[in-house]
């Protein structure tokens, strides 16, 4: 796995990466994007990811070119707590394929490969963070899946940027239903007040919230609401991918339907 762009790496980052390389030697994997044998994430899939570039809405990160012809973003009406949301790329193959394998096919090794995109994203924004918090899964989903994919991404990311990760700073108190298939307003209502933060970790802190995909940003905003209630200073949500609106709804819904048919 290439790791261009990461100059000085903390010992834990190198050790964690070596650990996964040893597992690769013992259990050769297939690329989570294209299925090529011998890679967790091949160089071709790496090249095929097109980072979001150009002008974006400062708050929600929506590319201005994707907004309706009025050119102004109305995200302030439904994102009132989070300060910025940034995603590395749009939610499309091969990144979407890899994220699905991480979430639904227990391909947990891919998280260590994909975390480098979060590092690149963090290096592209003008924010000096104090700590990293993964978006918590609800208890039922965690029991079904056995792991939280956001935490699996946040761990190598925290090692690489050498900042502490605090998964206990935020918990999910309700068993909210999946956001998939809900519109913007339903998504927001579904997660409002679903989180509770711990003041001893978050007070006066600049926090990076980590998740795999953002759609409307409503989950991130609900997390930010809980964190700010306990005194957090500034919250930036970082995700690998950003789902986008299609004529059939958000692209995360479409992909899940496609995925379950394969
Ligand atoms: Zn590949
Ligand atoms: Zn916006």
What tens digit of pLDDT does each residue of 64-86 get?
A: 888 877 668 889 888 999 999 99
Of 9-13, 20-24, 55-59, which one has max mean pLDDT?
55-59
Percent of the chain with pLDDT over 70: 87
- Interacting residues of 192 by C-beta distance below 8 A, sequence separation 6+: 222, 225
Handedness of CA 207, 208, 213, 215 (dihedral sign): positive
Spatial contact of 194 and 222, defined as CB atoms under 8 Å apart? yes
> Tens digits of per-residue pLDDT, 157-215?
999 999 999 999 999 987 667 777 777 777 777 777 889 999 999 999 999 999 999 98
- Residue located via tokens 């762009």: 5
Max Cα–Cα distance, the chain, nearest Å: 55
Query: Looking at residue 251, what is its pLDDT?
Result: 62
Q: Quick one: which ligand is closest to 214's CA? A: 2
CA of 23 to the centre of ligand 2 (A): 41
Q: Quick one: which ligand is closest to 84's CA? A: 2
CA of 92 to the centre of ligand 1 (A): 14
CA of 108 to the centre of ligand 2 (A): 31
Global pTM? 0.87
CA of 110 to the centre of ligand 1 (A): 11
> Tens digits of per-residue pLDDT, 198-212?
999 999 999 999 999
**Domain 11-260 top-level CATH class:** alpha beta
- Kindly indicate the confidence band of residue 223, based on its pLDDT and cuts at 50, 70 and 90: very high
> Tens digits of per-residue pLDDT, 118-156?
999 999 999 999 999 999 998 888 888 999 999 999 999
Query: Looking at residue 71, what is its pLDDT?
Result: 67
Query: Looking at residue 4, what is its pLDDT?
Result: 44
**How many contiguous H segments (helices) and E segments (strands) does the chain have?**
10, 8
Q: Where are the domains of the chain?
A: 11-260
Query: How many whole angstroms separate alpha carbon 47 and alpha carbon 44?
Result: 5
Query: Looking at residue 262, what is its pLDDT?
Result: 27
């Amino acid at each position: 796995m290439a790791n261009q762009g990461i100059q000085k790496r903390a010992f834990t980052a190198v050790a964690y990466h070596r650990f996964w390389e040893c597992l690769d030697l013992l259990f050769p994997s297939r690329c989570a994007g294209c299925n090529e044998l011998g890679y967790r994430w091949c160089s071709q899939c790496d090249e095929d990811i097109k980072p979001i570039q150009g002008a974006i809405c400062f708050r929600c990160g929506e590319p201005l070119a994707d907004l309706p012809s009025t050119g102004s973003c109305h995200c302030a009406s439904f994102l009132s707590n989070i300060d910025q949301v940034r995603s590395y790329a749009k939610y499309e193959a091969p990144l979407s394929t890899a994220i699905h394998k991480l979430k639904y096919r227990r391909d947990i090794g891919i998280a260590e490969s994909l975390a480098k995109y979060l590092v690149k994203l963090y290096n592209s924004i003008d924010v000096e963070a104090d700590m990293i918090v993964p978006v918590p899964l609800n208890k039922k989903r965690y029991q079904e899946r056995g792991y939280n994919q956001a935490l699996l991404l946040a761990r190598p990311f925290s090692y690489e940027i050498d900042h502490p990760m605090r998964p206990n700073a935020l918990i999910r108190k309700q068993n909210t239903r999946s956001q998939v298939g809900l519109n913007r307003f339903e998504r927001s209502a579904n997660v409002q007040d679903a989180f509770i933060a711990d003041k001893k970790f978050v007070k006066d802190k600049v926090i990076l919230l980590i998740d795999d995909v953002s759609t409307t940003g409503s989950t991130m905003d609900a997390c930010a609401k809980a964190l700010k209630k306990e005194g957090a200073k500034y919250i930036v949500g970082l995700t690998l991918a950003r789902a986008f609106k299609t004529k059939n709804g958000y692209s995360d819904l479409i992909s899940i339907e496609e995925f379950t048919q394969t």
